[in-house]
Structure 1
Amino acid sequence: MEDYKFLFKIVLIGNAGVGKTCLVRRFTQGLFPPGQGATIGVDFMIKTVDVDGDKVKLQIWDTAGQERFRSITQSYYRSAHALILVYDVTSRESFDCLPEWLKEIEQYANQQVITVLVGNKIDLTSQREVPPETGLQFAQANNMAFLEASAKEAENVETVFMDLARELTKNARKYLLRNTETVDPNITEITGETTNISYGGCCGSG
């Protein structure tokens, strides 16, 4: 049996060039890859973290933002426990596309999925086109948690993923507690395909 208590699938979505790959690489490898090329299709990385004494395995899927890959990436929504919707604070266009991404979430994702909005590249202060309050208002209007981050400076990157890990673990523990009479106690791997965890709390997507 593998050495972890829970396994969660987190999928990053958003326009091409907003820094999804850099966020994933910064969190999983502690690296900021300069000149990072566009993701082709879907890539994923794994990181195991500690949440209140439990080992939690995060399977983090980095999806391409280009339209031509959309049919591929949409298939990864349904089994996701959490979605990180990323825009670039220096690109108003990437922010204005957020409603389209929300439509995809509504169409393809599990109803219990947790969605977090992240405004990336806050290190580029002189190039900012989207104020923090604009991102916050959009997140609140759509019942999402919100953070601004910088993959380059490692600002809030750990917070984004660890807050999700804690929220997912909390909900998974509640699920197991509610279902102790019907769930095999030896089954501790929680996946979207085999369970129907009720995700709630501050990060709930409604």
Structure 2
Amino acid sequence: MAALQKKQSINCKVLVLGKSGVGKSYILLQYTAPPQEIVQMPKLTTVGVDYKYGTEKIEDTEVKMSIWDTAGQEKYRPIIQTYFKNSKAAILVFDLTDKQSLQDVRYWLREVKLQCGKDVAKILVGNKCDLPHEQPDQALIQEYCEEFQMEYIESSALQKINIQEIFVKLAKKIYQQHKASIPQNQLKQNSLPANEAQNQNSTSSNKQISLKNSKPKQKKENDGCC
């Protein structure tokens, strides 16, 4: 009987960053809380950090995310920096009704790069798209996305617009980066069906045994040999 393939999974720590009041906590609440629990959006102010869990299935792999919601107030920044360690992904949130919040994203992007390195999966989110607002600075958004290699999406935590999509896009980025980090020979082996992988291993093992047990050929005697 063919062996069953082991279920693939990736564990990833995700930071949600941005200015206070942009809607980080609301986004996380809408993503993780059961619909029946969200009757009316409560007034949320994060003090320090809070975290929740979410899972997205990308192809044959479960991307399991521990999502850390951070306070946006400047006085909490030294505390928040201690939570950057081991983070592999980040959601950068700004408020579409607050121009300054988009400017502030650059601070958080620099912190992510400084504290976590450049190989971090990221997505830029313009929240509160349901409210009246001017067109955001598209040139600055494009600059962020090109410099820090991330996608941009607009959302509304209040109306639950594109909330799931934020985390699906981020999970795909996490999956792609994880896949790219695996050596090609290992990736090829993992992609084989279980029975083929087992047969390949068995064949390889048999070859090693036959080489080990084979006797060296004896030199043929020849009367005319010098």
Q: TM-score, normalization: structure 1?
A: 0.76
Q: Is the 8 A contact 2:122 2:170 kept in 1?
A: no
Higher fraction of helix = 2
Q: Which piece of structure 1 moves more, 45-54 or 57-66?
A: 45-54
**Which residue number corresponds to residue 197 of structure 1?**
none
**Which residue number corresponds to residue 21 of structure 1?**
25
Q: Does 2:113 match 1:106?
A: yes
**Which residue number corresponds to residue 55 of structure 1?**
62
Amino acid aligned to 1:9: K
SS in 1 for 2:167: helix
Q: Does 2:133 match 1:131?
A: no
User: Which structure's CA Rg is the greater one?
Assistant: 2
Q: Does 2:162 match 1:156?
A: yes
Q: Does 2:127 match 1:120?
A: yes
Q: 1:18 offset after TM fit, Å? A: 0.4
Amino acid aligned to 1:89: L
Q: 1:175 offset after TM fit, Å? A: 2.4
Amino acid aligned to 1:41: G
SS in 1 for 2:178: helix
| Aligned residue pairs, count | 177
Q: Deviations over 1:133-185 (max 9, x none)?
A: 3563343453331111111122111111111111211222332344849xxxx
Distance 1:136 1:49, change over 3 A: same
**Which residue number corresponds to residue 80 of structure 2?**
73
Q: Is the 8 A contact 1:123 1:150 kept in 2?
A: yes
The one of the two structures with greater contact order (alpha-carbon pairs below 8 A, sep at least 6) is: 1
When the two chains are superposed, the root-mean-square deviation of aligned CA atoms in Å is 2.4
Q: Which piece of structure 1 moves more, 30-39 or 167-176?
A: 30-39
Amino acid aligned to 1:83: A
**Which residue number corresponds to residue 203 of structure 2?**
none
Q: 1:129 offset after TM fit, Å? A: 4.0
SS in 1 for 2:182: helix
**Partners of 2:58 and 2:87 in 1: how far apart?**
19
**Which residue number corresponds to residue 166 of structure 1?**
172
SS in 1 for 2:144: helix
**Partners of 1:146 and 1:166 in 2: how far apart?**
14
Q: Deviations over 1:69-120 (max 9, x none)?
A: 1111112223111111110001112122222222322321222112221110
Q: 1:35 offset after TM fit, Å? A: 3.3
**Partners of 1:48 and 1:4 in 2: how far apart?**
13
Amino acid aligned to 2:166: V
Structure 1 stretches of 5 or more lacking a match? 182-206
**Which residue number corresponds to residue 198 of structure 1?**
none
Q: Is the 8 A contact 1:26 1:154 kept in 2?
A: yes
